[in-house]
Amino acid sequence: MIPFDSATIHRARETMLPARRLCSVSAEALKTEQPADSRQRGNVGTGRPSVDLRTRTPISSATLPEVGFRRSPAQIHPHRKAIMRPECSRSARYSWEALPTGVAPFRHILWVMRSPPTRRGISRRTVLAGVPLVQVSAVAASAASSASAFTPDQMRLIDAVVERFIPSDELGPGAREAGVPVYLERSFAGHLSRERSAFSEGLAAMEVAARARHNTAFAQLSPAQQDEFLTAMERNEVSGFRPDSRSFFIRIRQLTLEGMFGDPWYGGNRGFAGWDLIRYPGPRLAVSAEDQRLREPIKPLRTSARGGR
């Protein structure tokens, strides 16, 4: 969580809106309406999974095409002249079709595609005609500027920290093996890009404090020393953080949980290691009363909501 201080706001305002009013819902505003994590949406419009179907591993972000809409809306929906909205993406349809549960196809699809007609005044088509082009350029721009979220040193630190949070042991893979660093890297390259500098400051503060205490990088410490250091952070006993070490501990722990237990489509939870660990039975389209009984084990279903298994 970033403090909403006036400097941040001022900066955001400077970059977001040069002039009042008329440009408000133009490129910059649209950009925030589009997913910032463009590479995670690299399959938009292509129907391609971002997880390798055979190996269950996510296709690395580098190999994903950095594009938004590859085809014009008319090509995607030749029967329909309205714009292709991001929420109508084919990747979404793909993912639901990939779920193996035997629920009947959705007969409600059609009404959603039918936008309400404009009776008077301007037509929707006129107003929205330029939108898809703006989307493509906005998405491409944000992808280009976020080729790499962290330096190799920062990645080594992240790797070491998340592995101490969730170590590999007899209970199964740890955070590193499950791809949690990949989740963080992709998140900060995309959705969390505005938090990147604050997060990098926190990482730097960790390194400074580790060197001050042990005269070496955090990643070089022994596991026991690392645990001791993290515990001190949690107790708010390490200085140099903004606002304090406990806040940064909570933030990086929360991100670790997201990577470990979120949908594998985002880069973590590789091989469903996180869901196996907490015995989460997995998302499914429909759930019977039998799967809501006390004590009874539920047969796990291992599939991503975004396609791939």
Task: Tell me which residues in 134-163 interact with other proteins (CB under 8 A).
Answer: none
State in angstroms the smallest separation of the CB of 124 from other proteins. 8
Query: Which residue from 54, 120, 152, 222 is in contact with other proteins, where contact means CB under 8 A?
Result: 120
State in angstroms the smallest separation of the CB of 269 from other proteins. 8
- Residue 97 and residue 306: Cα distance in Å, rounded? 10
Q: Tally helices (H) and strands (E) across the chain.
A: 13, 0
- Residue 268 and residue 262: Cα distance in Å, rounded? 7
Q: 19 or 62, CB closer to other proteins? A: 19
State in angstroms the smallest separation of the CB of 9 from other proteins. 5
Query: In this chain, which stretch among 2-10, 46-54, 73-81, 147-155 interacts with other proteins, using CB under 8 A?
Result: 2-10
Query: Which residue from 54, 78, 79, 108 is in contact with other proteins, where contact means CB under 8 A?
Result: 108
Query: In this chain, which stretch among 50-58, 72-80, 110-118, 135-143 interacts with other proteins, using CB under 8 A?
Result: 110-118
State in angstroms the smallest separation of the CB of 56 from other proteins. 17
Task: Tell me which residues in 6-65 interact with other proteins (CB under 8 A).
Answer: 6, 9, 12-13, 16-17, 20-26, 28-29, 32-37
Cα separations in angstroms, 10 against 4, 22, 28, 194: 10, 19, 16, 14
State in angstroms the smallest separation of the CB of 5 from other proteins. 8
Task: Tell me which residues in 64-83 interact with other proteins (CB under 8 A).
Answer: none
* Site for other proteins contains 86 (CB under 8 A): yes
Q: Is 279 exposed, middle or buried (0-12, 13-18, 19+ CB in 10 A)?
A: exposed
Q: Are 268 and 180 in contact (CB under 8 A)?
A: yes
Q: Is 89 exposed, middle or buried (0-12, 13-18, 19+ CB in 10 A)?
A: buried
Q: Is 61 exposed, middle or buried (0-12, 13-18, 19+ CB in 10 A)?
A: buried
Q: What x-and-dash track marks residues 256-295 binding other proteins by CB under 8 A? A: -xx-xxxx-xx-------xx-xxxxx-xxxxx-x-xxxxx
- Residue 166 and residue 75: Cα distance in Å, rounded? 46
Query: Which residue from 230, 245, 273, 308 is in contact with other proteins, where contact means CB under 8 A?
Result: 230
Residue 200 structure tokens? 């990098």
Q: 34 or 154, CB closer to other proteins? A: 34
DSSP structure class, residue 118: P
Q: 152 or 246, CB closer to other proteins? A: 246
